[in-house]
Structure 1
Amino acid sequence: MDTATATTPTRLAGPTTAIAPIYLSHGSPMTALEPGVAGPFWQALGARIDASVGRPRAILAVSAHTLTREPVLLAAARHTTVHDFSGFPEPLYRLRYDAPGEPVLAQRVAGLLKTAGLPAHVVPEGGLDHGIWAPLRFAWPQADIPVLPLGFPPDWSPARLFALGQALAPLAAEGVLVYGSGSITHNLRLVFASRSGGMPPLDAAEMPESAAFRGWFAERSAAADWDALLDYRRQAPHAALMHPTDEHLLPFYVAAGAAGRVPATRLHDSITYGCLGMDGYGFGPGAGALA
């Protein structure tokens, strides 16, 4: 693994209006085929970003399914579609989202992280996991926007990942969309805990514990209560039940950090299987235009 040289970051040209960072819940891999109400939201989101600030020149993607020991930038010139799941219907494996990569942006991001005192590695490898490509295939189906995956350590705290996001803040003014992908609630044991032995219906009524957790997150986000949000495992209701491990929530903090300690806007609110939230968030003053 090659470590990027610590140099002064070179600013990339971009629009005059910053692109608000976003966090999307990507749900089950089946959302790529059967997205439910999240599909129209993702489609509208891409159009709203294009209309409000212009088409992103690149997407920096932080996914719960690309995990590394230290931050790693996948700087391939082109990415192939990774079907990182098994046991699903065959048509799902025929879906493709082979997008261009962004090697130049990888060096820019590595410089920003190193300037902030954070480790950063750049490798010439590629591939987009389903957490990245499932929402993107609805938002920008042409797969023509360059994507730069940033792998992150799942043992870093929310506060440390927020700081990583803060290091990425200059990218928003340079036409780069900082995109976190995970799940606002993620306990797969609950998804597969139906008495029949299979998954509950897609439109099953939401568990009270899930509703309480998602509501708390939305309220604290709107109030910019980052002290509580960064301490969510102690303060949020049913946090351990909704996130037995928190890798699917951690990309939220990277995207949030890129905007700073400002209010976050819940852009979308829906539930699948009674406990798997599909909420989406935007961060910073430009997020209101995306709701």
Structure 2
Amino acid sequence: MSQAFPVLFVSHGAPTFAIEPGLAGARLAELGRSLPRPTAIVIVSPHWMTRGGVRVGSSATPETIHDFGGFPQALYQLQYPAPGEPQLASHICHLLSRSGITASTEANRGLDHGAWVPLLHLLPDADVPVVQVSMPYPLNPQGAWELGQALKPLREQGVLIIGSGSLTHNLYEFRGNDGDPAEYVARFADWTRDALEAGDLSVLLDYRSTAPQAQRAHPSDEHFLPLFFALGAAGEHYSVDVLEGGIAHGVLAMDSYLLRSAA
């Protein structure tokens, strides 16, 4: 059985990840150099959530959205001028509708920082078409997994599917942290890695009850949901390559995961 294009979950961290790549940025850059060139990238991020169904960015030239405030001025000068792919956006809507998921295109949507910041490190030339897909609101882990499942056929066309979120994401502690890594962050990250490597989907989907310090690691779900999107696109039988990223700002676990599985 042939291998389909792998799926990536990436921890995009804070916007400063764009100019402070650290270990996580280096790992993404290595991955970008080693992967075959994808025909396109389809990415979800918690920074685009929509009511009333899924929206699919269909601009041929998506803008770089600087959807954050109070960060170094250098960040607002960065651009990621990747082309879009309107035909792929329409095909994504078809796949989602076929799975019973309401979807429509959005011609005026660009790429938010959850999309372009990790792509700066992964594919810095910005020469692969990128289509961003919104996360519907409300959404739970099972729904995110089903969203990924609906788009799984794209992998057979050489499309790199990316769930861009954060392995841990407690903004209350991010703002007040003095830089020392919080012990619970490593515990949650280790638990996630172990569950992924064991392929234990039911435990992962029920992470609120099964993971250590889940409420502290994720006061709300939205930054962890892209992991389930990636798992859905990978399918139930996959292998995991761990891209160790360390811990940024004391509370943001930056590990990413490459998921490989058969077509």
In the superposition, the TM-score normalised over structure 2's length comes to 0.94
Shift of 1:262: 2.3
**Is the counterpart of residue 58 in structure 1 residue 44 in structure 2?**
no
Q: Is the 8 A contact 1:79 1:128 kept in 2?
A: yes
Q: For 1:169 and 1:32, locate their aligned partners in 2 and report how far apart those are by CA, in whole Å.
A: 28
| Superposed CA offset, 1:191-232 (max 9, x none) | 1224xxxxx23xx3x222111111111111100100000011
- Taking CA–CA contacts closer than 8 Å with sequence separation of 6 or more, which of the two structures ends up with the larger relative contact order? 2
Match of 1:280 in 2: 256
Q: Is the 8 A contact 1:154 1:247 kept in 2?
A: no
User: The residue matched to 1:37 in structure 2 has which SS?
Assistant: helix
User: Computing the radius of gyration over CA atoms, which structure comes out larger, 1 or 2?
Assistant: 1
Runs of 4+ in structure 1 over 3 Å off: none
**Is the counterpart of residue 271 in structure 1 residue 257 in structure 2?**
no
> After superposition, where does 1:1-150 map in structure 2 within 5 Å?
17-49=3-35, 54-69=36-51, 70-150=53-133
| Counterpart AA for 2:46 | A
| Counterpart AA for 2:235 | G
> After superposition, where does 1:176-191 map in structure 2 within 5 Å?
176-191=159-174
Q: For 2:73 and 2:225, locate their aligned partners in 1 and report how far apart those are by CA, in whole Å.
A: 30
**Is the counterpart of residue 224 in structure 1 residue 199 in structure 2?**
yes
**Is the counterpart of residue 175 in structure 1 residue 158 in structure 2?**
yes
User: The residue matched to 1:111 in structure 2 has which SS?
Assistant: helix
| Counterpart AA for 2:43 | A
Residues 212 and 264 of structure 1: is their aligned pair in 2 closer, same or farther, counting only changes over 3 Å? farther
| Superposed CA offset, 1:38-91 (max 9, x none) | 111111111111xxxx21111001011111112110101111111111111111
| Counterpart AA for 1:92 | L
| Superposed CA offset, 1:136-175 (max 9, x none) | 1111111111100000124211111101111111111101
Shift of 1:266: 4.7
Q: For 2:199 and 2:4, locate their aligned partners in 1 and report how far apart those are by CA, in whole Å.
A: 20
| Counterpart AA for 1:158 | P
Q: For 1:17 and 1:224, locate their aligned partners in 2 and report how far apart those are by CA, in whole Å.
A: 18
User: The residue matched to 1:63 in structure 2 has which SS?
Assistant: strand
Match of 1:256 in 2: 231
User: The residue matched to 2:176 in structure 1 has which SS?
Assistant: coil
User: The residue matched to 1:23 in structure 2 has which SS?
Assistant: strand
Total equivalences in the alignment: 259
| Counterpart AA for 1:167 | A
Q: For 2:214 and 2:239, locate their aligned partners in 1 and report how far apart those are by CA, in whole Å.
A: 19
| Counterpart AA for 2:48 | T
Structure with the bigger percentage of strand: 2
CA RMSD in angstroms comes to: 1.4
Task: Specify every segment of 5 or more residues in structure 2 that has no aligned partner in the other structure, as ranges.
Answer: none
| Counterpart AA for 1:214 | A
